[in-house]
Structure 1
Amino acid sequence: MVPPGKKPAGETSNSNKKCKRYFNEHWKEEFTWLEFDYERKLMFCIECRQALVKNKHGKAENAFTVGTDNFQRHALLRHVTSGAHRQALAVNREQLAFETRVHGHPELRSVIKVEVNPAKVAVLTTVYWMAKEEIPDEKCSSLLNFQKFNLCQALLASEHSEYYHPGSVREMQVSIAKVLHNEDRHRIKASPFVGLVVDETVDVLEQRSLAVFTTTVSPCNGQTSTTFLGSFELPTGEASTVAGKVGEVMRSFGIPTMKLTWLSADSASLVAERLSGVGTALTSLCPLLTEVHCLSHGTSLLLAESIGTIEYLQKYETTVDAVYRLYSSFHGEGDSLQELRRVLDLCEIDLGSPRAIHWTSIFPAVEAIDSSWPTLVLLLESEAERSPMARGLCEELKKFQFVAFTKILLDVLPIFQKLSRFFQIEDFDLSILKPIVSATATTLQAQQSTSGQNLREFLSEMNKHPQDGREGESRLYYRGIELANCSQVHLKHFEHLKESYLERVRGNLLDRFPSSVLEAISSFSAIFNPKCYPQSLEDIGSYGVSELNFLLQVYSRVVVSERALSDFPLFKRIVFSLSQLSFKDLCVKLVYSSSEMHELFPDFAVLAAIALALPLGSVLAEKISRGRELLKRGRSRHVKDEGLSDLMKIAIDGPAISEFNFALAIEHYESMRESGFIVAQVK
């Protein structure tokens, strides 16, 4: 609306003089930074003009600092998303933050020269981008010079503060990570419950580290967040050391013990320590805690370390390792041996690493050994006279037990591959977790007596030839090659090996998914997954009562059981009418603090928040994988763990550059660098 007594604002600068546009007063409501000069009939940006005045950078001018009569909404939209406007916002926020810091010491205003400099934003933006792209710190200087060469206005037009130089990259990374970690603390504080993922890694020097992730739930919208809290060195010791380190992380980020509801120990040694390890130690402190396998990282379902106590497994892996090292670089004819090289590339196996490779858990590697077995034996036989190692490998590969155990692995590993694929589904249906685990355990148990398909086919394909002079004994051939160690004693020993291995694998699976955990997850699915409800409204009367009672007993500290049971009939009728919703959608609707269902069913809202904090989903899987890659590459460049954790934080959780608040990072950085100077001036 034009003020009384004034004509509509002037024409645009379009070349078409017949087309007149006018300033719209409503734009001020949408764009709070917009200012209009009624006398000059020009639009200005308050933020850009303020930054320009304070810095006196004539070269930083844009249309909205000198004034524009381009009265079109899309011109305003272009400006609000421009780099110049975002830079001005950051500069003004930085100035405000600095003024707040020295507010208690007005005498410092005459001592300290306040530099509100876009170059600071430019330098921190460069450091941030380098961390996101994994560019080494020593490249910072050349990147800044390159930007100057490309006429980066902020770097050309401003003088750097004495603290802003390539040598202070590490401190800038600390400041950026601090901003991100402060956001983590806010999420944790707001979240009703928290899930924790502890991922253990071991470097070439056997130094253990814990990468810790957390899952939180926002009561404002019910959405979940997955964040990386850091990588922490772990002293050599027992599980109590792990529990102590996790406790330190919880205290550092302000995670109350009553909020921690899920713990996923996604590593071999931590899973092996389940009964007397980190899970039990923390459960005594966190009464709502349930330890669960990380559903988002199913690739580690079959852990070689947990079954490595079987003596023959170590010998088998040593043999396979020697074969791959001997023939992985084979350049002769024969596709079967070329397959060994392809396996290393496909599975990203580094033979140069000093760490042991657990071949018995890598299906493509075992499959390649099986398919190339005849060729390998013939090649090793041809080299046996010249090479004692080739002769030893040849003898080992020809043993009945080696071939038969390879067949067992071909039967077992695909089962776990299939199980892992279920967990990689984005919207994994929790209701099928219990049946899948149960079916897998049953299949493994059945193979102890009936054997799997590959082993049965191997046994049926072997050809028997009577052994001369030895009544009752036969010579066994497979694919035209005579097998060694085929006596009844050896066959009986193999049967014992098969039963021991399958029982250990089955036990490992059940250890990773205890019945109590499966029952809890199954109960959550029964209550909060509309698709699990009966098809008819008449059948929901007794549905879910036992599952609800189970959850109410487990989480009795945070729910009112009598009220929940009283609300359950109405809750079920409403959920039945929301059959189009998924498990997650319904939980989000309940957790959302402003929703009607949140107010109607407070106990179910609490249980839904616990369910949403369960660590699962592709985002978590990607972050765990990314963390492992960054840790491996960072250590190969000899980056210290403390600095590496900050780099990992930026790379894993840092948002797009346009979304990060560099003003806060600048505030942290300058506060850290100037604190000594300010204290000295106050004294």
Structure 2
Amino acid sequence: MSQRSILSFFGGGDELKRKAEGNSESCISAKNKKYDECKRKRTFIDGWKDQFPWVAYNDTAKVMKCTICSKYPNIHACNRKRTFIDGCSNFRIEYLKSHDTSDAHLECMSYERDAQRRSTASGSCDVTTPLSGPTCSTDNVSPIVKALQNSDKQTMQKLEKLFITAFHVAYRGKPLSDFEFNLDLLDCVGVDIGSKYRNIAGAREFIKAIACSLQKEFIPELKKARFVTILSDGSTDSAILEQETVFMRYVSHGQPVSFHAGTVPLEHCHADEVLDGIRKAVESVDICFDDLLSTTEASGPSLVSVNFDGAAVMLGSKGGVAAKICKQAKHVVPVHCVAHKLELAVLDAVKHLPSLSNFEDVLKQVFKFYHYSPKMRRELKTVSDIFNTDLANLSDVKQVRWLASKIRAVRALKISFHSILNHFESVAAGRSDQSAKCQGWLRKMKTVSFVKTMCILLDILPILTEVSLVFQKEDLLIIEVPSAIEGLVMKLLNCKIDPVGAGESMEYFSKMYNHEKSSFDGVKLNGVCPPVIFKDDTFLISLVDGIITYLDKRFSCFKQKPLKHFSVFDFTEWPTQREPLSVYGSTDLSELMEHFSFLHICKLVELMLVVSPGTSICERMFSSMNLVKTHHRTALHQKTLCHTLTIMTHGSKKLADFDPRPAIMEWLHNTPGSRHILSLAKEAKPEPVPMLGPCSSKCVD
């Protein structure tokens, strides 16, 4: 047996194998060491500057950089390589060729050519623009450079058309799929917009850029403001998600401005969750919520008031959102929305009037009768034409929140009163399923009480509606509320004291009602028809007195500290005599200065402008949200919803007034991802061309 076999038998083969591998590794290491000693060290070659005019070599750092890309570092998005901006130490020509044909470099070249073209047009050798550094003029430009300059202009024009289309889709609350359809329409009429970003993803990016550019118009002013009021309200969207919308009111150039901070989805509707949602919305616009609660101006604007609806979760005295905020900042003034206060005061007043409840029940039943039956609407139209009577549109009567909706329903009933009665008589005479209903409604509508109530409401509701619309104004001031309520009370008392002279409908009833013949405007009335004297009418007196009583109760906070002290800024309340005027308001000013802890009257004036009395802008936001997030778009992204609502709130009302350029710059600089702007001008990438040299009398082609 050989020695190898014996060693293998006793386990010695592994040792020989390890010795052989060690000898092999030592040989490879020696070869690598010899190669490292003999290999050529790569350095920068000056001849590369002729082939690539944009390259520059830093002898100190031993790196090469791109002079063009270094001027526009923001153009390079986060997912692009920044090798030739930070410095490349790998001196290989392949790296230069790769950078020369990259999208990022070609995009920077596009901006550089545009800057040079502007410099040439102005005849200046030192022009600085937001997208460019110093440029120089040139007299001799090659045809291919001119072609690329024209392509930049065409690219911007196409981007403007794309952004205007996206703005139109968002401002009108249309689905994002309409963006593609509108672009196809532009193609059909011969408008060239290229082939890139013509999809829903592109529309979403454009809408985001437009919303961000609109926000950036408000945020600098908001951060410079002294005081801020937070307006917030909640609603449920079509996806059964609780949405909390937040506005911030501040003063800009002497005028109050309401800025949409955000719309935040809530998991729960308790006070802590709502407060956390408000905090998220405020901090989304780069403002610290805790700094708002501070009274020091160094930390930015201070929160002086919060304006919510009357829900217990918002204005509860112990555990509400306003109470939690006031615990951290005692100077904050909670305000209940005055438009909601007015509605609640009217609802409280009519609870104890059964005749008004009966009138409203009949009104709803009649409107539903026509709303859900096209056949009945056709018959009503036919009867109206036969008898030559007026007819108004009778829509569905739902639970309304504003008085303006109620007056429209009563007016429609008054206009169509004769047509409805004639149609009910026609249906009641037949043997259909609706005959009994129409007979019952006829008995109720042909009574003195029903007709009298209708005429009284036609005179009372317009007075309430006028004030309700005033309270829904966005720029309403806190000092305007007491005078508006006082004017409302005076008009109501006028209707009570002199109803025939103050109300047109009550005057019309007095002329057309004949208690002896039991008729009103040619309509034979049922039951007892006593004489009606509105001045002594129990229903009118109870209605007016009830409304005034609950108005005083609901708006009593404007007669308490600190809101009552703001009346010092209402010049209509100032005395006309010299002596009373000389001391007028000193106590009110002292109380306000003590409450808000500062001693400057100019600050008090600004603070008075900031305090918001109503949240109607939040209600309008929910109306916009219902247009955007319908039952067919329940999966709409939350960010897309917020961006769309911002555009609908702060966007230009006329399409011709919308400037897409700030949004385009926002999209190019601050949105992550690649930007194929060159492909909008040409589907193929342009050939690389030599860049213009430094400022001199001659330029290189």
Cα offset for 1:525? 5.1
| Residue among 257, 277, 281 paired with 1:225 | 257
Q: For residues 410-429 of structure 1, what are the structure 2 equivalents within 5 Å? A: 410-420=458-468
Task: Return closer, same or farther for 1:53/1:228 CA change in 2, 3 Å cut-off.
Answer: closer
Q: Distance in 2 between matches of 1:250 and 1:551?
A: 26
Q: Is the 8 A contact 1:476 1:483 kept in 2?
A: yes
Alignment match, 1:14:
none
3-state SS of 2:629 partner: helix
Alignment match, 2:26:
none
Q: Distance in 1 between matches of 2:366 and 2:593?
A: 55
Q: Distance in 2 between matches of 1:396 and 1:508?
A: 30
Cα offset for 1:291? 3.9
Alignment match, 1:632:
626
Q: For residues 344-423 of structure 1, what are the structure 2 equivalents within 5 Å? A: 351=396, 362-386=406-430, 387-420=435-468
Alignment match, 2:224:
190
3-state SS of 1:340 partner: coil
Alignment match, 1:108:
none
Cα offset for 1:437? 1.3
3-state SS of 2:590 partner: helix
3-state SS of 1:660 partner: helix
Q: Does 1:648 align with 2:629?
A: no
3-state SS of 1:376 partner: helix
3-state SS of 1:541 partner: helix
Q: Does 1:544 align with 2:585?
A: yes
Cα offset for 1:216? 1.5
Alignment match, 2:179:
140
Q: Distance in 1 between matches of 2:314 and 2:425?
A: 41
Q: Does 1:260 align with 2:254?
A: no
TM-score (norm: length of structure 1): 0.59
Q: Distance in 1 between matches of 2:511 and 2:558?
A: 42
Describe the superposition over 1:205-257 as per-residue Cα deviations: whole angstroms up to 9, x where unpaired. 98764433221235xx5554321123345667577775664455456553423
Task: Return closer, same or farther for 1:406/1:176 CA change in 2, 3 Å cut-off.
Answer: same
Bigger relative contact order, structure 1 or 2 (CA pairs below 8 A, ≥6 apart): 2
Q: Aligned AA for 1:660? A: P
* RMSD of Structure 2 on Structure 1 (CA): 5.5
Cα offset for 1:610? 1.0
For structure 1, list consecutive stretches of 5 or more residues without a partner in the other structure. Answer: 1-45, 93-116, 345-349, 466-474, 561-602, 674-683
Q: Is the 8 A contact 2:310 2:340 kept in 1?
A: no
Q: Distance in 2 between matches of 1:144 and 1:545?
A: 64
Describe the superposition over 1:169-202 as per-residue Cα deviations: whole angstroms up to 9, x where unpaired. 4455446545655665554443221122234556
Alignment match, 2:665:
663
Cα offset for 1:284? 4.1
Q: For residues 381-530 of structure 1, what are the structure 2 equivalents within 5 Å? A: 381-386=425-430, 387-420=435-468, 433-441=481-489, 443-444=491-492, 453=503, 454-455=505-506, 458=509, 462-465=513-516, 476-484=518-526, 486=528, 501-510=543-552, 513-516=555-558, 523-524=565-566, 526-527=568-569, 529=571
Q: Distance in 2 between matches of 1:53 and 1:232?
A: 36
Task: Return closer, same or farther for 1:133/1:274 CA change in 2, 3 Å cut-off.
Answer: same
Alignment match, 1:39:
none
Describe the superposition over 1:60-79 as per-residue Cα deviations: whole angstroms up to 9, x where unpaired. 99897458876699xx9xx9
Cα offset for 1:439? 3.9
Task: Return closer, same or farther for 1:502/1:204 CA change in 2, 3 Å cut-off.
Answer: farther
Alignment match, 1:575:
none
3-state SS of 2:381 partner: coil
Q: Aligned AA for 2:361? A: T
Q: Distance in 2 between matches of 1:486 and 1:271?
A: 50
Q: For residues 254-403 of structure 1, what are the structure 2 equivalents within 5 Å? A: 254-255=288-289, 256-258=292-294, 259-265=302-308, 279-280=322-323, 282-292=325-335, 309=351, 313-326=356-369, 329=377, 330-332=380-382, 333=384, 338-341=390-393, 351=396, 362-386=406-430, 387-403=435-451
Larger radius of gyration: 2
Q: Distance in 2 between matches of 1:169 and 1:275?
A: 46
Q: Distance in 2 between matches of 1:263 and 1:432?
A: 18
Cα offset for 1:613? 0.9
Q: Aligned AA for 2:366? A: V
Task: Return closer, same or farther for 1:663/1:305 CA change in 2, 3 Å cut-off.
Answer: farther
Q: Distance in 1 between matches of 2:209 and 2:540?
A: 56
Q: Is the 8 A contact 2:444 2:450 kept in 1?
A: yes
Q: Aligned AA for 1:627? A: M
Q: Aligned AA for 1:606? A: K
Cα offset for 1:409? 1.4
3-state SS of 2:460 partner: helix
How many pairs are equivalent? Answer: 520
3-state SS of 1:608 partner: helix
Give the share of equivalent positions with the same residue, in percent.
Answer: 17
Q: Aligned AA for 2:293? A: T
Q: Is the 8 A contact 1:197 1:294 kept in 2?
A: no
| Residue among 602, 607, 611 paired with 1:605 | 602
Q: For residues 170-249 of structure 1, what are the structure 2 equivalents within 5 Å? A: 170=204, 173-174=207-208, 176-178=210-212, 180=214, 186-201=220-235, 209-217=243-251, 224-233=256-265, 245-246=277-278, 249=281
